[in-house]
Amino acid sequence: MRVIGDGQLIIVGGHCRGVGKTTVIEHLLRRSPHEAWVAVKISAHRHTPGPAGRLLVEEDDGRRPDRQTGRYLAAGARRAWLCHAADAVMPMAAQFVAGLRASGMNVIVESNRLVQHAGATTAIFVLSPPLEDWKPSSAALVAAADAFVIGPCAQRGTDHWPVADGHIDGRPLFTLTASGPLDAWYHTRHTPRPPASQSTATPALV
């Protein structure tokens, strides 16, 4: 079941670690200073103990700006969470995100796997040709992506991608610059929601 809520949802993924997913999210948050966005990082890795088969959610308190969730807050997210979710509990992660959206929040999520469980307003896939590692979870987001972004660590072209007239398979390909076509494309897809309409309640975990 694909969960669709009231708030907007952006999903940002990429083919491996270090490709620039968090940097793209920071860029989009900084381009939306007057909107009410919260951010979620979904990780398959369990770094802290917890009950088997359950979703573990940690809200960032802003004291660790070096963490991905801390970087989201520094870039303008109102709140940020890290969700530890194995594949078996991804529906729970989708319900958590749906709860945020149902509360009136716009949500930006760093994840490849969420796109199989949630209907995104916009899905963005970050790629870097020099990095050859590919997560198995990449395929679903590549298929669903509305646009592609060349990550900041890319040092050469997209020789191995079917790029034609700045598009991949008919979908736009952008570079991450201070301002430019990516920003214009992004703002045509998202209607600002004022912070006053945002609930501060955190949805209950499944």
State the DSSP string of 106-143: EEEEE-SGGGGTB--SEEEEEE-TT-----TTHHHHHH
Of 119 and 178, the structure prediction assigns the larger pLDDT to: 119
Residue pair 185/147 in contact (Cβ under 8 Å)? The answer is: yes
Residue pair 183/175 in contact (Cβ under 8 Å)? The answer is: no
- pTM for this prediction: 0.84
Partnered with residue 127 across adjacent β-strands are 150
51-105: pLDDT as tens digits: 557 889 999 998 888 899 999 999 999 999 999 999 999 999 999 999 999 988 8
Instruction: State which fold the 9-193 domain adopts.
Output: Rossmann fold (3.40.50)
118-136: pLDDT as tens digits: 989 999 999 886 666 677 7
- How many angstroms separate the Cα of 123 from the Cα of each of 45, 60, 119, 148? 22, 24, 9, 9
- How many angstroms separate the Cα of 75 from the Cα of each of 25, 69, 98, 166? 9, 10, 23, 28
Least confident among 28-37, 140-149, 195-204: 195-204
Kind of pairing, strands 167-168 and 171-175?
antiparallel
Taking residue 35's Cβ as centre, other Cβ atoms within 10 Å add up to 18
Of 131 and 30, the structure prediction assigns the larger pLDDT to: 30
For the cut 70, the answer to whether the pLDDT of residue 197 exceeds it is: no
Residue 58: per-residue pLDDT: 93
Least confident among 53-67, 80-94, 153-167, 172-186: 153-167
* Residue 152 exposed, middle or buried by CB count within 10 Å (0-12, 13-18, 19+): middle
With a CB cutoff of 8 Å and minimum separation 6, the contacts of 62 are 70, 73
Task: Please choose, from the candidates 161, 197, 31, 206, the residue with its C-alpha nearest in 3D space to the C-alpha of residue 108.
Answer: 31
| Radius of gyration in angstroms for the set of CA atoms belonging to the chain, rounded to a whole number | 16
Cα 65 from chain centroid (whole Å): 18
